[in-house]
Structure formats: C-alpha cells, structure tokens
C-alpha cells in the first residue's frame, strides 16, 4: 500500500479534521489522488454475512479494510476516527433510515461490538478518467453522482440480499472504450463498468430520477450512459434485508484515506 | 463468469470424474484454459476467521467461491463434488497433517458444518505466460512448482496467522517485465509477483529445498527467480495457528472448474 506524503497527506488529514469539526460537505474532489471509501458498520453478529456478501459481490462491494471489535481507526489512515471523520452518516434501524447525522459517536457507544467495512469508491477511477481528459460531468456541474437501484440481484449471503446499485456517468461514444479500459485497471475499486448504454435493461425507468445522489443534467447528443457498480449497494441490502442496526456514510460523503489511488491499479 | 463449452467443458468434467474414480495425479496441464482452485474447508466456527484472513491477504488468498453448510458443489463447476473431485486431499488435526487421501467423504461426514473456500491458483496466469511463449520450467521438466514459506507475515485475522507461501518460476531477465504484466492482468488469481530475484530477502535459505512441491532444476545463466503469492498460504496458517480441523487439497492437486481463465482477466 502506498501512502501519501507532504502536502497531499496534509490535505487528507485536513479533510478528516474538517469533518470531525462539523463540515458536512460531500468529498468529491477532496484530496485528489487519494482513495476514498464507503462505510458500513454492523454488529458483530452480522459481520460474517457482510463479509460473505462482499466476497460474492466483489464488483459492487470491494473491501479495502475491515475494522473489528468497535475499533474506530482504519489502517488506511493512521489517526483516523470512523465515528467523526466522515462528513455525514446514515443510521439504520430494522432496515429503515432513522437519521442522517454528522457524528455517530453516540450511536457507536450503544453498539460496542461494531465491525466496520471500508469499501472502494468510484472516485479512484474517476481520477484516472480525468487524467485522460474524459469529463466527469457531475463534477463539472457541481452535483453528486447519480446512483440507481437496478434489477440486478446481488448474490445473497446468509441473511443479506438486495439489488446492485450502480452509478452513471455520461461518456462520449468515441471514448467509452477508453473509459472501460482505464476504470478496468482498478478492479479493487469497482473496476470496469457493469453496463454500457440502455438503462431500460437495468430496470432504470427514468435516468433523471436516481434513487441516490443528484439527478444528472441532460445527456448531450453522442453521449452514452455508462454504469459502474457502486459502493452504496450495501445500503440497498440493509433495506431489503431489514438489518436490525447499521451505520453507513451518506452517499457522496466518503471516508478520505491517506492511500494513493495507484495502490489499487493493476 | 464465462463457462467452458463443448470439448473444453468435457475435459474438465472428465478430470473431475477421473479424480472421483481414484486418479491421484497432479492437475498441472489438465483442461488448459480453465480455472483451477486451491481448497480449504473448516468448521463453521472458523469460517469468519478464514474469510477475514482472505480479505486481509488477498494476493495470497484470492477467494473464488465460498460453499457453506457442508455443501459439496461449487458454482464454478455444476455437478461437482468437493469431497471426491480433487485428486489428493490433506486432512489436518490441531494444525498437524494427519493424512493425505484421495477421498474425504468420510471426514466430511464427521464435520457436517464445513465451510469450503476455493482459492485462485497460479495455473491461470501460467496459461497467460505460456501464450506469450514464456517457458514454465517446472512444466517442461514434469515437476510440481516449488513453493516456499517466506519471512513475510500475513495480516492476522481472529485466531489465524502465518507466513505467506510463494511459488517460484525462473524467468529470463529480459522477460521478467512481461511476466509481471501478464500475471498482473489476473489480480483475482494472485496477480503480479510479490518479489523478483534475491530469495535471501524472502528468508529462503535454499532455493533448491522448497517446503512444498518439487525442487526446481538448476536455474540457467540469465534467469531470475520470480516469486508469486501462493494458494497454499492457508495451509501454513493452519499449521501456525493450530486449527483444530481442516481439509485442504494436496499441493499441485487442484479442483478443476468449468470456468474460463479469461473470466478473471482485467
């Protein structure tokens, strides 16, 4: 694993400190070049199911770190605190969203046996696309990436089941192949797209009404909607499976690590 | 996942049937083009530890399938039977090898809650090397690949700990870069080497006395020993951790699946 140094490291530490101090902004574009991660924390009794769900659905749930026994520090970011360093969290009870908050210290204290899973995030391969001058439209227009529940069922594991969630980026038709190749170099953080074009066959009725994130601006002529597996997939599983208790990040508000994207390039 | 068809599928089915009928030969070169897998089966009580060990040591323990509740059929090979379809098995008690047998039906019956893990195998990227006309020496001379315990500690998980086991292939110095790139295209089956040259710094005192497999023939002038993480790593963990009961394949005698190597190429 390659860790950032100097200014880049300082920018990651500053982002976590800002979230800890109360900043609730999404983390797109923050500490560029460093891995950001999705979070799901569940009681120990559910950890095996989550671990197996991740193994069986690696494209959607690529695990970067597992922190046990109520631990709050990830090895991806020494000195981090999972309870405070993400701008916004979601708290789930019986599969239903019960609160969106900036700090989960209190909820954490009530569940001292939480096991936390950090999951790869598309921001890593977005950096690769940007480096190749492929525009990331939602960044250009200052929105969160649109995310959709699909008709693709994940492979169940124990009590966990649910649909795959995908994120969408419009890509000019003549650059789709490059977008596939570039993101495919990062299999540990969702990798290549799961679907190119034709939202209908994914069960997406309206491209402009995503279940998570922000609605996209209208696609331009010659652009194709390209769909990548998304780290919000466990949140769909929490809902579908009625998980008794869970903490996650809020979509778009990620855990900023100290690890270089290149650590996960093939 | 891409499944073989026609003759290739028949060759995989024939290999499993032969093992089932008592054939105990190693599987190198069998059903070429198809994924072969390492096996470790443990009682349910140890499954979480193995799953987490795999997540934390993905290069050495890349999981391809997890079969629960004493199940014997892998989705990588419909109709397969994990108890009989591998040529030779090892049975472990309290971290010690207690038997090497051709059939584990009896041992399986005594432990009805086994969880089985199929782990990616270097045979997949060897096919890629062969396609690029990089000689696989141990195949040429009809030996098993040499495997070594190293001084690289795996990241522990629960009660499991142990050293990384690596396999070694001599590669001409002017083809090492290609060997890295080709194997790197298969991150789900060990991927790129963990070490190139200098066995000493891996803690390998004698390249010609491997802990598993067969001794290599003498390296030729201009050849460099190249080391890849190896799916025998869990067997080292079984020994180091004193796992009460486990079943594994015997090194070199793999589970032959119906899945094309290309399923795991990036």
Question: DSSP secondary-structure letter at A189?
Answer: G
Please report the ipTM that was assigned to this predicted complex.
Answer: 0.78
Give B111-176 as a DSSP string: -TTEEEEEEE-THHHHHHHHHTT---HHHHTT-PPPEEEEEEEPPPBTTB--EEEEEEEEEEGGGH
The tokens describing A90, both together, are: 């979601």
Helix (DSSP H) and strand (DSSP E) numbers for chain A: 7, 11
Q: Please indicate whether, in this complex, the C-beta atoms of B187 and A188 are within 8 angstroms of each other.
A: yes
Closest by Cβ to B187, choosing from A55, A187, A192: A187
Q: Percent of chain A beyond pLDDT 70?
A: 100
Q: Please indicate whether, in this complex, the C-beta atoms of B63 and A55 are within 8 angstroms of each other.
A: yes
pLDDT in tens, A88-142: 999 999 999 999 999 999 999 999 999 999 999 998 889 889 888 999 999 899 8
C-alpha B37/C-alpha B52 separation (Å) is 19
Q: Please indicate whether, in this complex, the C-beta atoms of B55 and A66 are within 8 angstroms of each other.
A: yes
Q: Please indicate whether, in this complex, the C-beta atoms of A191 and B54 are within 8 angstroms of each other.
A: no
- For A124-233, CATH gives 3.30.2040.10
CATH 3.40.1640.10 domain position(s) in chain B: 6-122+241-264
3-state secondary structure of A70: coil
What backbone phi and psi angles, to 5 degrees, belong to A40?
Answer: -140, 130
Partners of A47 on chain B (C-beta within 8 Å) are 48
CATH 3.30.2040.10 domain position(s) in chain B: 124-233
Confirm or reject contact between B180 and chain A (CB < 8 A).
no
At B207 the pLDDT is: 96
Check whether B118 has a pLDDT greater than 90. Answer: yes
What backbone phi and psi angles, to 5 degrees, belong to A220?
Answer: -90, 155
The tokens describing A22, both together, are: 């109360």
**Domain B6-122+241-264, classified CATH 2.50.20.10, yes or no:** no
Give the ranges where B57-165 is alpha helix by DSSP (H): 105-110, 123-131, 137-140
* A148 strand-pairing partners: A166
At A234 the pLDDT is: 94
For B211-239, letters b (16+ CB in 10 Å) and e give bbbbebeeeeeebbbbbbbbbbbbbbbbb
Dihedral of the alpha carbons of B254, B260, B264, B265, in degrees to the nearest 10: 120
Whole-prediction pTM = 0.87
Whether B161 and B96 have beta carbons less than 8 Å apart is answered as no
Count CB-CB contacts under 10 A for residue B244: 15
C-alpha neighbours within 13 Å on the C-beta side of residue A52:
24
C-alpha B226/C-alpha B137 separation (Å) is 12
pLDDT in tens, B83-104: 999 999 999 999 999 999 999 9
Confirm or reject contact between B66 and chain A (CB < 8 A).
yes
């Amino acid at each position: 694993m390659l860790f950032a140094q100097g200014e880049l490291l300082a920018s990651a530490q500053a982002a976590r400190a800002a979230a800890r101090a109360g900043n609730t902004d999404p983390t797109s574009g923050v500490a560029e070049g460093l891995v950001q991660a999705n979070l799901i924390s569940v009681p120990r009794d559910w950890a095996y199911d989550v671990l197996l769900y991740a193994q069986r659905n690696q494209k959607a749930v690529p695990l970067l770190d597992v922190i046990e026994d109520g631990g709050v520090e990830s090895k991806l970011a020494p000195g981090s605190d999972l309870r405070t360093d993400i701008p916004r969290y979601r708290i789930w009870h019986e599969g239903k969203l019960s609160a969106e908050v900036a700090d989960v210290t209190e909820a954490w204290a009530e569940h001292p046996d939480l096991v936390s899973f950090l999951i790869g995030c598309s921001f890593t391969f977005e950096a690769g696309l940007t480096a190749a001058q492929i525009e990331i439209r939602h960044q250009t227009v200052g929105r969160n990436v649109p995310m959709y529940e699909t008709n693709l069922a994940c492979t169940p594991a124990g009590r966990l089941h649910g649909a795959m969630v995908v994120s969408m980026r419009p890509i000019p038709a003549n650059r789709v192949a490059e977008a596939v190749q570039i993101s495919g170099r990062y299999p540990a953080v969702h990798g290549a797209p799961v679907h190119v074009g034709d939202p209908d066959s994914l069960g997406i009725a309206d491209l402009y009404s995503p279940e998570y994130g922000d609605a996209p601006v209208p696609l331009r002529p010659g652009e194709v909607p390209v769909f990548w597996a998304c780290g919000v997939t466990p949140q769909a599983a929490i809902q579908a499976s009625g998980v008794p208790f869970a903490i996650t990040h809020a979509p778009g508000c990620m855990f900023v690590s100290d690890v270089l994207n290149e650590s996960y390039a093939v």
